[in-house]
Amino acid sequence: MNFPLFPREASDVAARTDWLYMGLTAITALMIMIIAIPSVYFIFKYRRGKIADRRPVKLPLLKIELTWTLLPLLLMLGMFAWAAVLYFDIERAPPNAMELFVVGRQWMWKIQHPEGNREINELHVPVGRVVKLTMTSQDVIHSFYLPAFRVKQDVVPGRYTTLWFKANAPGSYHLFCSEYCGTQHSGMVGRVIVMEPEQYQEWLVRGEPGQTLAQGGERLYRDLGCSGCHSGSTVVRAPPLEGIFGKPVPLQDGGMTTADEAYLRDSILFPENQIVAGYTNAMPSFNRRVSEEQLLQLIAYIKSIGSETPPEPGITEASK
C-alpha cells in the first residue's frame, strides 16, 4: 500500500528533522501516558460513593518535589539542545556552497545561476553539492518551501534571505510557495531537479547561458555609470569596491558594518543611509532604476572583483 505519511527524505537535514520530530512526539506521548493513565485510574478508584482508603498518606515530599522538577527540566533542556543544534545547522550554510539567486513575484519563482542560466519555477542542481539560495521578492512576501529537504524560508521584498540544502539523491522534488500571496498563490509551484554532476554540467552548457551573472553585472556597472566614480583614476572620489565583499566597512557616524549582500543592496538603492567614513553623500539613489535581478547581477559583479585586486589600505582586515 502506498500511503506515505512524510515526504521523501532527500537530504541529511531531512532525516535529522524527522528524527527530531519523532523524538519530540515520542517524549510527548510518554509524558501524556505518565499523567493521563493514573488520572483515569484515580477517577474510577476514588469516585464519590466508592469504598476506598482515603486516610492521608505520609510521603517524602521534598524528594517527590525535586524529582518531578528536575527530571522534566533536564528532559526539556535536552529537547531544546537537540532542536537548537539542528536549527543552527539549517540556518548556517556550510562553506563552499554553490550560490544561486531567487526572485519571487506574483506568481512565479525566477532563478539565476552564476553561470548565467535562468529558469522559471524550475531549479536544476547537482546531487551532493551544498546549494545556497539568496532570495528576495519583487512584490509581496512569499515563502520558498522544499518539503523533501525539510527547509522553508520567507522571501521578503526589500531584503535578502538565504536557504541552503544538499540533495543526496537525484530526482524531481516539489517546490511550493507556502505564504499566502494572492489569488494564484496555490499555483506558485515548481520543482527542483537534482541531477548527477556530469548531467548538470551538460545542462548548464545546453542552456546557452550567454553572459554570466557577474558579466551582466559588469555591463550594468558601466552602463549605469558606477565605474565613473568607483574606480581609482576618477575625479569624483567614491569608495573603491575591489575586494570589499565580506569586509568590515567603517562608517561616517563612527559605526561599523559588513559589506554583505544586504549592505551592497542598500548602498545602491539608498546610498544616503550609510556613508562610508571619509566620503561625502555624493551618490545618487538607484531606487526604482534597477530591478531585483539587476541588483543581484551588480552584487555578483562586486563579489567577483574581490580576488583580483588587493583591498585598499583604508579597509581593515580585522575580520580575518
Q: How far is the CB of 107 from ligand CUA (least distance, A)?
A: 6
Chain positions 177 to 196 lying near ligand CUA, rule: CB under 6 A, are 177, 179-181, 185, 188
Answer for the pair 285, 267: CB distance below 8 angstroms, yes or no.
Answer: no
Q: How far is the CB of 183 from ligand CUA (least distance, A)?
A: 10
Asked whether position 108 contacts ligand CUA by CB under 6 A, the answer is no
- Beta-carbon count within 10 A of 40 CB: 10
Q: How far is the CB of 134 from ligand CUA (least distance, A)?
A: 17
Closest among 83, 72, 79 to 34, alpha carbons compared: 72
- Beta-carbon count within 10 A of 249 CB: 20
Q: Which residue has the cell 580585522?
A: 318
Q: CB-wise, 107 or 165, nearer to ligand CUA?
A: 107
Chain positions 280 to 299 lying near ligand CUA, rule: CB under 6 A, are none
Q: CB-wise, 140 or 204, nearer to ligand CUA?
A: 140
Asked whether position 103 contacts ligand CUA by CB under 6 A, the answer is no
Q: CB-wise, 23 or 147, nearer to ligand CUA?
A: 147
Q: How far is the CB of 298 from ligand CUA (least distance, A)?
A: 25
Please calculate the CA angle 126-7-96 and round it to the nearest 5 degrees: 30
CA distances from 269 to 100, 158, 286, 295, 313 (A): 22, 10, 5, 9, 26
Q: Transcribe 268-316 into DSSP letters.
A: HH-TTTSPBTT--S-PPP-TTTS-HHHHHHHHHHHHHTTTTSPPPTTS-
Q: CB-wise, 178 or 304, nearer to ligand CUA?
A: 178
DSSP state of 134: E
| Only segment of 76-84, 172-180, 218-226, 282-290 that touches ligand CUA (CB under 6 A) | 172-180
Query: How many chain residues interact with ligand CUA (CB under 6 A)?
Result: 9
Chain positions 64 to 83 lying near ligand CUA, rule: CB under 6 A, are none
Dihedral sign (CA 207, 213, 214, 219): positive
Chain positions 222 to 241 lying near ligand CUA, rule: CB under 6 A, are none
Respond yes or no on whether the N-terminal peptide bond of residue 19 is cis (omega within 30° of 0): no
Asked whether position 142 contacts ligand CUA by CB under 6 A, the answer is yes
Binding site for ligand CUA (CB under 6 A): 104, 107, 142, 177, 179-181, 185, 188
